[in-house]
Amino acid sequence: MLNPGLILDDRYEIIEVVGTGGMSTVYKANDLRLKRFVALKVLKSEFSNDINFVSKFRVEAQASAALSHPNIVNVYDVCEDEGRYFIVMELVDGITLKDYIREVGRLDMDTAIDFSIQIASGLAAAHENHVIHRDIKPQNIIVGTNGSLKVTDFGIAKAATSNTMSTTNMGSVHYISPEQARGGYSDERSDIYSLGITMYEMVTGRVPFEGDTNVSIALMHIQNEIVPPRRLYPDIYSSLEKVILKAVQKKPERRYLTANALIADLNRVKNNPNIDIIVAPSVVTNSPTREFTENDMETIKRESNMKNVDDLAYQNTTLIGQNGYPKSSTVTVDRSKINQLIDDEEDYYDTPEPVKKKGIKIVDDDYDEDYSDAGYVEEEPEEPDGDGIDPKLEKIVMIAGIGAAVIIAVILFILVGNVLGWFKFGKSSSNPKPKATTEATSEEKKKTSEKNTEKTEEPTTEKKVTKKMKNVVGLKYEAAKSELEKEGFTNVTYERVNDDDVPEGYVAKQSVKEAETVEIDANIVIYISAGASEIAVPDVKGYYIDDADRVLTDAGFEVTHSYELSDSVDKDHVIGTEPGENAKAASGSTIKIIVSNGPKEIQVPNLKNSSEESAISMLSSLGLQTGEITYESSDTVPEGQVISQTVDAGTSVTEGTQVGFTISLGKATKTYTATISGTITPYDTSTVNQYIKESGGTVHLTVKFNAEGEGEKVVVDTDVDSKAFPYNVEQSYSGLSSNKGTVIVLIIDSNGSEISGMFDTDSVKSVTYDVE
């Protein structure tokens, strides 16, 4: 773990741990250069020390950094600092889809479809850039607070999986595709399988396969069919179930070939849940990325050759076991729809045929084998043996070789027999007929032909061919056209019309009703939907979000929201829409409202005990301005450091806000003024006067002030006679550094004897101090 405050690459300051996974730890960090918060995904040491892994990780992560899509977490940079390898990513405010499902349970259909489209859109963008995720699961999908989904862990997942080919690090076993479970080649369709499992979990609240070990779950992906979602929850759309079942087909060629094809079907289900658009063949706790051992892989390869995983000890004993988890299942296929669309599957998705490879049988998406009343079970091809040769292929080659040898032997036998006269091929036992006979025969044929021609030219009465009209409403244009051609109708006209309820490209209505008898050459008009009629998008700039929703909804649109920072538009008010105002959009289509989150908010840093220079630099780095700087003494804060600030630390403010602070001058230096004021008075005036007169008539009076730290100061130093008493003393001293000191009064007679005791000097000795 990295400690908060650590700065990586002289730029990224670690703030706190966000989460940890099998290969890395994610930290929230402050980008000191661009003044923004980011997420740092730091590889764990066991991966950082693997040179091969790091090399692949860097290449794939750099490729992921080129991806830019609203449904993909942006990768800003790939860095290394003293052996620590990390990815700098967008910091998304939200929770994982796994946690979201835990909180709300199984999702409603509209939410599940919307989430699926967003995830598939992110995958489509990645696949178009030749980046395969290979670890799609709810834990790698972030549900933002604004309702948008973002796929994360691009690059690191592929780096780990490409290392998988030799290290058997297999990804998340609950969502792994069959080809990944076998350790074989995986491509974009592997991501589609994992997304199908994720969609299954969204609509049912659980993963389709659970087992005691990773190996047992992996084998279920290879051999078992999933329980159809509607068997668990009948309220799931039938059309959505078919989409999911198609996405999780065992064979990659039977799944959606592209993420865009999956998105197209999801949009059709979204627009019309009851539409029958495809015929689908049959088809947790946290799921961290798992590492399979060599023993695990050998077990999978050995056990995957079994006809049914029910033979294994870990398998449950009932079809729907405890808590609704499946033992195994098959799906009954609707044969009435297969014949209707099976010939149009290629045109239907408008995708190129897969490239055929030697030894691989290309199977159409709607090809079905071995149907039974209960459904069907699709057998998986046998795995290659230890020498890399497919046992079935080896058997076929052997049989073909034997057959070829037999055929060659038969041909040689016939040729030799014909040469030696054993057979009489092409010979007749009768003599050839004379030439005249041949000519007569030709003449006879000519006459017969002419006679037949004459008969043909005689007027005849033809009976009109009629047929019952077939219902093609709800079918795609190509499928409807094919159906009518098969029925033999020869005069069909296709017209495009706007329809708010039927998706574009599908039959909205037909001029001849279903089962109505009509001549096959009668004109039949088929109306193809051109989509909903387009209307102008209202201008809702500056509207409060609820008001904007109401205006667009009243205009016939669906709405969704995204959020952006704005210095010019108030929080929760509309910045704009996509498409923009006054643009044309189909009625019922979705308009994205871009809502202001207000100006960028910055947390004010704690400036206390920082130097003046450091405080100014700290404010500037966050986009804040330095306010008024004041100075004052402090007995607790050292000189030159911040005592206080005008805006409290942690307060959220907008960029450019002024923050002032006060700098300590250190401990305060005080000066004092000392005032000595009083009267020296004889205790007995007559006695003192008589004594002074007899001793010479005068005495020497001395008053001294000893100020602490300042030395001795003479206040009075003079000779006085008896008439000077009582003697007044008045003296002040300023600029003293201390408020402590003493006053000394000495009175000496002319004989040198001290007679101070004959006088009251207390008032003089009492000093008054004032702070200057």
Q: Which residues is 682 bridged to in the sheet?
A: 759
CATH number of the domain residue 708 falls in: 2.60.310
Q: Is 447 annotated as a binding-site member?
A: no
| Enzyme catalytic residues | 135
Q: Does 301 fall in a domain?
A: yes
The model's pLDDT over 718-765, given as tens digits with 9 standing for 90+, comes to 999 999 999 999 999 998 888 899 999 999 998 899 999 999 999 999
Residues 58 and 186 both lie in one domain: no
Residues 245 and 336 both lie in one domain: yes
Q: Please confirm whether the linkage preceding 326 is cis (ω < 30° from 0).
A: no
Domain residues for the domain of 631 are: 601-664
Q: Does 447 fall in a domain?
A: no
Q: Residue 699: which H helix or E strand, with range? A: strand 699-707
Cite the beta strand spans of 185-252 per DSSP E.
none
DSSP state of 496: E
Residues 239 and 316 both lie in one domain: yes
Where helices occur in 685-769 by DSSP H, the ranges are 685-694, 762-765
State yes or no: pLDDT of 299 exceeds 80: no
Quick one: how many helices (H) and strands (E) in the chain? 21, 33
546: which 2 tokens? 């609820």
Among the listed residues 480, 467, 478, the one whose alpha carbon sits nearest the alpha carbon of residue 509: 480
Residues 308 and 255 both lie in one domain: yes
Neighbours of 350 (CB within 10 A): 11
Task: Tell me what the mean pLDDT of segment 431-438 comes to.
Answer: 40
683: which 2 tokens? 């205790």
Task: Tell me what the mean pLDDT of segment 608-615 comes to.
Answer: 93
Task: Tell me what the mean pLDDT of segment 662-689 comes to.
Answer: 91
Q: Does 452 fall in a domain?
A: no
520-556 as b/e, with b when 16 or more CB fall inside 10 Å?
eebebebbbbbbbeeeebbebeebebeebbebbeeee
End-to-end CA distance of the chain: 58
Residues 136 and 281 both lie in one domain: yes
The model's pLDDT over 99-137, given as tens digits with 9 standing for 90+, comes to 999 999 999 999 999 999 999 999 999 999 888 888 899
Among the listed residues 210, 203, 251, the one whose alpha carbon sits nearest the alpha carbon of residue 231: 203
Which of these ranges, 161-170, 588-597, 660-669, has the smallest mean pLDDT? 161-170
Task: Tell me what the mean pLDDT of segment 632-651 comes to.
Answer: 92
Q: Are 105 and 182 in contact (CB under 8 A)?
A: no
Task: Tell me what the mean pLDDT of segment 322-339 comes to.
Answer: 34
Q: Are 203 and 244 in contact (CB under 8 A)?
A: yes
Average pLDDT, the chain: 79
Task: Tell me what the mean pLDDT of segment 491-513 comes to.
Answer: 90
* Cα–Cα dist 738/747, whole Å: 28
DSSP string, 246-294: HHT-SSGGGS-SSHHHHHHHHHHHHH-TT-----PPP-----PPEE--H
pLDDT band at 295 (very low <50, low <70, confident <90, very high): low
Among the listed residues 415, 222, 232, 371, the one whose alpha carbon sits nearest the alpha carbon of residue 307: 222
Among the listed residues 42, 57, 148, 135, the one whose alpha carbon sits nearest the alpha carbon of residue 95: 148
**Which of 90, 107, 124 finishes a domain?**
90
pLDDT band at 293 (very low <50, low <70, confident <90, very high): low
Q: Does 422 fall in a domain?
A: no
Bigger pLDDT: 341 vs 678: 678
Bigger pLDDT: 298 vs 26: 26
Residues 644 and 501 both lie in one domain: no
The confidence score (pLDDT) of residue 317 equals 31
Distances (CA, A) of 482 to 105, 341, 488, 507: 43, 9, 10, 13
Distances (CA, A) of 68 to 64, 93, 129: 9, 18, 10
State yes or no: pLDDT of 363 exceeds 80: no
Burial of 713 (0-12, 13-18, 19+ CB in 10 A): middle
State yes or no: pLDDT of 447 exceeds 50: no
Bigger pLDDT: 524 vs 335: 524
Residues 186 and 266 both lie in one domain: yes
CATH number of the domain residue 522 falls in: 3.30.10.20
Bigger pLDDT: 33 vs 54: 33
One-letter amino acid for residue 36 of the chain: R
Residues 249 and 108 both lie in one domain: yes
* Cα–Cα dist 728/430, whole Å: 181
Q: Does 125 fall in a domain?
A: yes
Cite the beta strand spans of 154-265 per DSSP E.
169-171
Residues 576 and 619 both lie in one domain: no
Residues 651 and 586 both lie in one domain: no
State yes or no: pLDDT of 394 exceeds 70: no
**Nearest 5°: CA angle at 716, between 711 and 719?**
140
The confidence score (pLDDT) of residue 438 equals 39
The confidence score (pLDDT) of residue 655 equals 85
The model's pLDDT over 683-713, given as tens digits with 9 standing for 90+, comes to 999 999 999 988 889 999 999 999 888 888 9
Among the listed residues 670, 665, 669, 617, the one whose alpha carbon sits nearest the alpha carbon of residue 643: 665
Task: Tell me what the mean pLDDT of segment 75-88 comes to.
Answer: 88
511: which 2 tokens? 């001029």
Task: Tell me what percent of the residues of the chain surpass a pLDDT of 90.
Answer: 46
State yes or no: pLDDT of 426 exceeds 50: no
Q: Are 41 and 89 in contact (CB under 8 A)?
A: yes
Q: Residue 688: CB partners within 8 Å, gap ≥ 6?
A: 682, 722, 725, 758, 759
Distances (CA, A) of 754 to 146, 749, 757, 758, 765: 98, 6, 8, 9, 18
Which of these ranges, 252-261, 329-338, 650-659, has the smallest mean pLDDT? 329-338
Q: Does 208 fall in a domain?
A: yes
State yes or no: pLDDT of 660 exceeds 70: yes
Would you mind telling me the total number of residues written for the chain in this entry?
Answer: 772
One-letter amino acid for residue 710 of the chain: E
pLDDT band at 186 (very low <50, low <70, confident <90, very high): confident
Q: Does 408 fall in a domain?
A: no
The confidence score (pLDDT) of residue 500 equals 76
The confidence score (pLDDT) of residue 298 equals 60
CATH number of the domain residue 85 falls in: 3.30.200.20
State yes or no: pLDDT of 290 exceeds 50: no
Neighbours of 244 (CB within 10 A): 28
Annotate 95-147 with three-state secondary structure: EEHHHHHHHHCCCCHHHHHHHHHHHHHHHHHHHHCCCCCCCCCHHHEEEECCC
Q: Are 196 and 244 in contact (CB under 8 A)?
A: yes
Q: For the chain, how many structural domains are there in total? A: 6
pLDDT band at 190 (very low <50, low <70, confident <90, very high): very high
Bigger pLDDT: 282 vs 224: 224
* Cα–Cα dist 633/680, whole Å: 43
The model's pLDDT over 454-477, given as tens digits with 9 standing for 90+, comes to 444 444 456 788 999 999 998 989
Q: How many CA atoms lie within 13 A of 309 on its CB side?
A: 29
**Which of 62, 90, 118 finishes a domain?**
90
**Which of 646, 664, 682 finishes a domain?**
664
279-313 as b/e, with b when 16 or more CB fall inside 10 Å?
bbbbbbeebebbbbeeebbebbbebbeeeebeebe
Residues 186 and 307 both lie in one domain: yes
Task: Tell me what the mean pLDDT of segment 473-494 comes to.
Answer: 91
The model's pLDDT over 140-152, given as tens digits with 9 standing for 90+, comes to 999 999 889 999 8
Beta strand pairing status for 672-682 and 767-771? antiparallel
Q: Residue 175: CB partners within 8 Å, gap ≥ 6?
A: 135, 136, 137, 194, 197, 198, 207, 287
Among the listed residues 133, 215, 127, the one whose alpha carbon sits nearest the alpha carbon of residue 168: 215
DSSP state of 645: E
The confidence score (pLDDT) of residue 228 equals 94
Q: Does 162 fall in a domain?
A: yes
Residue 501 sits at φ, ψ, to 5 deg, of -105, -25
Q: Are 241 and 226 in contact (CB under 8 A)?
A: no
Predicted TM-score (pTM) of the model is 0.41
The confidence score (pLDDT) of residue 370 equals 33
pLDDT band at 659 (very low <50, low <70, confident <90, very high): very high
* Cα–Cα dist 464/609, whole Å: 103
Among the listed residues 629, 632, 606, the one whose alpha carbon sits nearest the alpha carbon of residue 619: 606
Task: Tell me what the mean pLDDT of segment 240-263 comes to.
Answer: 94
33-44 as b/e, with b when 16 or more CB fall inside 10 Å?
eeeeebbbbbbe
* Cα–Cα dist 533/531, whole Å: 6
Residues 765 and 640 both lie in one domain: no
Among the listed residues 46, 53, 298, the one whose alpha carbon sits nearest the alpha carbon of residue 162: 53
pLDDT band at 214 (very low <50, low <70, confident <90, very high): confident
Beta strand pairing status for 642-645 and 12-20? unpaired
